[in-house]
Amino acid sequence: MKVKRDFLRKIVEEDLRLGKYKKVITRFPPEPNGFPHIGHAKSISINFGIAKEFGGLCNLRMDDTNPTTEDIRYVEALKDAVKWLGFEWNGDVKYTSDYFAQLYEYAKKLIKMKKAYVDSLNEDEIKEYRGSVTTHGKRSKYANRSVEENLYLFEKMKEGKFRDGEHVLRAKIDMTSPNMKMRDPLLYRIRRKYHFRTKDSWNIYPMYDFAHCLSDYIEGITHSFCTLEFENNREIYDWILDNLDLKSPRPYQYEFARLNINYTVMSKRKLLELVKGGYVDGWDDPRLPTIAAFKRRGYTPESIVNFCESIGVAKANSVVDMSQLEFSIRDDLNLKVPRVMCVVNPIKVTIENYDGFEEIDAPFFPPDVPKEGSRKLPFSKEIYIDRDDFSENPPKGYFRLTPFQPVRLKYAYIISCQKVIRDAQGNIKEIVARYYPDSKSGSDTSGIRVKSAIHWVELKSSKRVELRIYDRLFKCENPKGVEDLNPNSLKIIKNAFVEPSVINSNEVRFQFEREGYFYKEPVDYCEANPVFNKIVSLKDSWAKKAEFRQSSNISKKTNTKEQIDGEVKPLTKEEQLLFDRYTQELKLNSEVANTLARDKNLAIFFEEALKEFDLAPAIANIVSNEVARELKQKGAERLSFEPKDIAKLVKMIDKELISTKIAKQVFEEMCKSGDDPEDIVKRKDLMQISEPTLILPIVDEVLANNPINVEKYRSGNKKLFGFFVGQVLKLSGGKANPKVVNELVEQKLNIKL
Ligand code: ATP
Ligand code: MG
């Protein structure tokens, strides 16, 4: 991977280079007080990811120092999450409670060094004595206790001789420190509670600041990564480890920004509220941002890890858009799952001139997905189509079935509507249609033009299924609480119909064509009631809504960046110079030139690529489209390719080593893996085939398979030429050189028999 190193990786790399540590050991240290969420996935992918990358190890440590909120159930959920995301922890799961005895000894050592004391102020007094950001704190009078008295009291605290809150153990640091955290921080508190692992053995529990650094040290952790809110705790972390005179090497703490996502809540406390209050159906309710929910909904672990990598590691907090997560899911599923048909809102169609039954071969994957497989689609006189795919009074631009407009049944025939049958209330109950026998997909010679293809299922062989359609759990970007819940976040459809291959398949994830990606509900699915969860839609419907909002009058004011009252913002002087250079000197078309000139990052990228390979129009094209999209999504810092890689890609197109279609596929791969385009082409065997002797057999095959069309072409239907070329390209997996294919098809078709 050539992804730019983030600052954490740079630190690790440098430490290894300087020999500070022999081996990297990180840890993921959750508190088992709730189910892990997508924020934890980020921390997991950083800690486990870095360890893996540098040949080290990562511990999974339950930070179980608060007996009141923790539970074994959460431990299991955390283990599940790490495993599901594809990571392996070092040895056994570790627990801070394993170290309670050692920590107790370290505390006594600090007391003996006169660096810790038992304080007997109450909670309010402790707060008051701490001072504020603008005023110094004041040390407690108990800080003068002798070592013996402190040891004695500390032991009695441990034995449970005092009530909760009666005493605490504190570090003696500095009540005037500008860092409030350093004003004699608490090290231990009394909690006479049952602990899920140590049971009743302890009546005192170490505070995070004391337990964490020492647990890290005990485990031999080298790099202790945590989120930004612990920045001020770092000084305590260092103080404790340094003052205890420990054998080196010791760990160091580094902070990174928490992941926040809009339209959801992410703290375990808020999630617990939703679960306990019955607002959702348990911790794995598919609408929650927990890992268990993602798993149940059908998200893939790869897409979560990809997402965590794509958002990068930064030092400043920010909010990531939910659609970016959804993009990662879609992006992953697109290349993996079979396409099948499911009619969500069925209406019966009777094809009056069709008799009998046939099975139609239909591929599971579109041509641009490099996977194989097909199924037989039953077809008969009676089918279901979606109610939305028929309109008696079609709005302008409606391309589907109407009383006056035929439509193609995907993979099958073209049908036209003959009549509509209504029930007593006047609702459409059934459509009577006719089909065109010579319009079968793949060998259509009917000459009928349709504007779209719709999905359908054969009535008798199809199977009724339940669909659970999820939307965002909250209706606003930054939800405060349950008052912002989206009332429509779950819709249940009881009466959808799928083609039989879905039920008989071993696959668990599908794309229901035109409807979205779906997952076999792992808990509730049964033969009598097959249930599917909607994983994600095919397109980002929220973006459309947002765009709509933007272009409507309501928010026109916020949309002043590029447009001012419908007029295009004039170019600045600098931009104008660039624009002139691009249009006049480099002969780019003005649209491309405009895009490049207005975006400084793009322009720089373009100029750099141009230095590598001097083919301005081709480079400009890909930079102003594909690169611009990536740049917008990820930012310049996180692009996984460089200008020279794009130059290489264009060079391959120019030399006709790959087609422009394949180039797009290579580009997607570059975005994902950061690999060199030439390596990708080699690895995936995408080299364009221009050798006629390799293409001829494919042309022959296509002609042999379509004798009727060949005959029609030869007897004058020249429009079919494109059909043959398309079939050959498809059969070659998009690798055949279109120019050569054109020539060969032409030759073959025009041979006089
Ligand atoms: P929450 O506030 O959701 O309860 P937490 O920080 O209390 O989270 P822990 O169980 O203590 O949860 O966290 C375990 C690890 O995961 C910590 O290192 C923490 O910094 C990290 N982590 C928690 N939330 C996020 C997040 N949103 N983004 C990145 N890392 C996170
Ligand atoms: Mg917490």
Fold of 692-749: Arc Repressor Mutant, subunit A (1.10.10)
Listed by start position, the domains of the chain span 99-208, 339-462, 563-683, 692-749
Closest residue CA from atom 2 of ligand 1: 267
pTM for the structure as a whole: 0.74
CA 523/CA 531 separation, integer angstroms: 9
**pLDDT score of 546:** 43
Closest residue CA from atom 23 of ligand 1: 40
**pLDDT score of 5:** 83
Instruction: Say which ligand is closest to the CA of 258.
Output: 1
**pLDDT score of 752:** 57
CA distances from 732 to 57, 370, 608, 655, 696 (A): 45, 11, 35, 19, 11
Residue 359 alpha carbon to ligand 2 centre in Å: 58
Name residues contacting ligand 1 (CB within 6 A): 29-31, 39-40, 42-43, 226-227, 258-259, 266-268
Q: Which of ligand 1's atoms lies nearest the C-alpha of 227?
A: 20
CA 128/CA 136 separation, integer angstroms: 11
Spatial neighbors of 645 by CB under 8 A, at least 6 apart, are 670, 676, 677
Residue 613 alpha carbon to ligand 2 centre in Å: 52
Residue 582 alpha carbon to ligand 2 centre in Å: 54
99-208 and 339-462 share one CATH topology? no
Instruction: Say which ligand is closest to the CA of 267.
Output: 1
Q: Which of ligand 1's atoms lies nearest the C-alpha of 31?
A: 10
Closest CA to 114 of 154, 135, 90, 143: 143
Residue 307 alpha carbon to ligand 2 centre in Å: 23
CA distances from 752 to 569, 741, 747, 748 (A): 61, 19, 10, 9
Given this structure, which CATH class describes domain 99-208?
alpha beta
CA 412/CA 377 separation, integer angstroms: 9
- Could you tell me which CATH number the domain at 339-462 has? 2.40.240.10
Low-confidence ranges of the chain (pLDDT < 70): 1-4, 541-569, 752-753
Instruction: Say which ligand is closest to the CA of 77.
Output: 1
Residue positions annotated with a catalytic role: 31, 258, 268
Which of 38, 40, 228, 319 is the pocket-test mutation for ligand 1 (most atoms within 8 Å of CB)? Answer: 40
CA 557/CA 564 separation, integer angstroms: 9
CA 286/CA 283 separation, integer angstroms: 9
CA 122/CA 130 separation, integer angstroms: 12
Residue 37 alpha carbon to ligand 2 centre in Å: 12
What is the 8-class DSSP label of residue 517?
Answer: E
Q: Give the pairing of strands 116-119 and 453-454.
A: unpaired
Q: Which of ligand 1's atoms lies nearest the C-alpha of 230?
A: 20
CA 101/CA 108 separation, integer angstroms: 11
Q: Name the 3-class secondary structure at 142.
A: helix
Q: Which of ligand 1's atoms lies nearest the C-alpha of 47?
A: 18
